[in-house]
Amino acid sequence: MKGLMKIIGVILGILGLSAKATAKKKAKVKRAFRSDDAYRVEAKKGGKMKKKKSLPDMSGDGKVTKKDILIAGNKIVAIADNLDVYKNEAEVFNAEGKIVTPGLIDQHIHITGAGGKDGFSSMTPEINLSELIACGTTTVVGLLGTDGTIRNIKVLYAKAKSLESDGISAYMFCGYYGLDSVTITDSIQSDMIFIDNILGCKIAISDIRSSYPTALELVRKLRDVRVGGFIGNKKGILHVHLGNLDTKMDVLFELVNEYKFPIEHISPTHVGRTKELFDQAMEFAKLGGIIDITTGASKYTDPYKSVLYALENGVSIDNMTFSTDGNAGLTKFDDTGNAIGVRKAPIHKNLEEVVLLIKDGGVSISEAFKLITTNPARNLGLKHKGKIEVGYDADLCCFTENLKLTDVFAKGQQMMHNGTIIVKGNFE
């Protein structure tokens, strides 16, 4: 049993209770725990489980349970009421009083930096591992921005592989703003087939920096992404940057309604840039699409308020995601609105907005965390991410009852302990 790690008293994931696991619980407890319940760790002391009070009201219905989670290598291999059979062969992590979620996923982040709209000096730096761990991010999808020349696609790939070596999961999109998609191989389709880390292609629409692609040009890229995905055993998505032009998402509706292209392969981002754009994005979500709300930039209101607005208008939370646009280049303004320099988009806003959605918006923990765990995993086609479930990657975050992040595990390795980052990148 060498290499086993046991997390004692850890909740069976806020988002990760499977239908199979639910069925098993029916024989043992008075009620079956639903997948949208909130869960809490129970402490193990003196060989007995010590009962704790329920979570605060912000957790939804306040119902609790306790589970042990067994990790072998980078996978969750067992979830049960008691796994003491392994106590002599496994390291024990006691998560007393903690809320446990899957590791957080940021599906739109500039890991090699971005910017450059005000010259070379306005280019933002690369992201370090510790910056990601500090906000519980254990999976990233890196991408290029306006610039597909200086921010080279091969450098992006190298950075993704570097972050993998550091201990987290890192993927990427080929392409950039332009219609002439930059690739590592000779085509989008070949990238999808032969480059494991590539999950799709990025392009921009409704932006003065875009190539103003037509529906026919987009559908051809979608075909390459989808067919490449078939062969490469990936979902395949066209990740679409949205600007603030009046055309908004019109061409994406044309893809769905006139070309009948499956909506699940179209992934629009920055949908909260303007109120008018978000209103249209809600209609896209009602058709079955997943819309991505940017938390670090490009927003007409607080992102969590956009989610509440969408929920009020009949959009399922399962059709929404958060991403940061982290390290994008942003203009810095003074109090009078004059541009005074540049700054980088923050990378911690996903978690911050989810906490606001829970505390101020009244959304349950289990539902709110879907925006940065389950939903992006499903959007990206990552079959072993976003849930706490047997066979899934051992990516876990532990929080206090007030939702302060204390511990982070990435692929079974502890990266943060009691609020202190214990694993950093090579050059930090």
Distance CA 261, CA 217 (A): 13
CA 333 to chain CA centroid, Å, is 29
Q: Which helix (H) or strand (E) holds 227?
A: helix 215-232
Of the candidates 123, 157, 132, 130, the one whose C-alpha atom is nearest the C-alpha of residue 143 is: 157
Catalytic residue among 325, 393, 395, 407: 325
CB of 8 closer than 8 Å to CB of 92: yes
CA distances in angstroms from 48 to 65, 87, 143, 277, listed in the order given: 15, 14, 49, 55
Distance CA 389, CA 322 (A): 22
Token pair belonging to 14: 């806020």
Q: Is 187 exposed, middle or buried (0-12, 13-18, 19+ CB in 10 A)?
A: middle
CB of 320 closer than 8 Å to CB of 310: yes
Per-position DSSP letters for 16-84, written without gaps between them: T--HHHHHHHTTTSSSPPPTT------EEETTEEEP-PPPPGGGSS------EEEEETTEEEEEES--G
In the chain, the amino acid numbered 392 is: Y
CB of 325 closer than 8 Å to CB of 347: no
CA neighbours within 13 Å on the CB side: how many for 281?
33
In the chain, the amino acid numbered 357 is: L
Other C-beta atoms closer than 10 Å to the C-beta of 316 total 14
CA distances in angstroms from 362 to 57, 60, 202, 235, 306, listed in the order given: 9, 8, 34, 33, 14
Other C-beta atoms closer than 10 Å to the C-beta of 357 total 28
Active site residue 118: no
Cite the active site residues.
Answer: 325
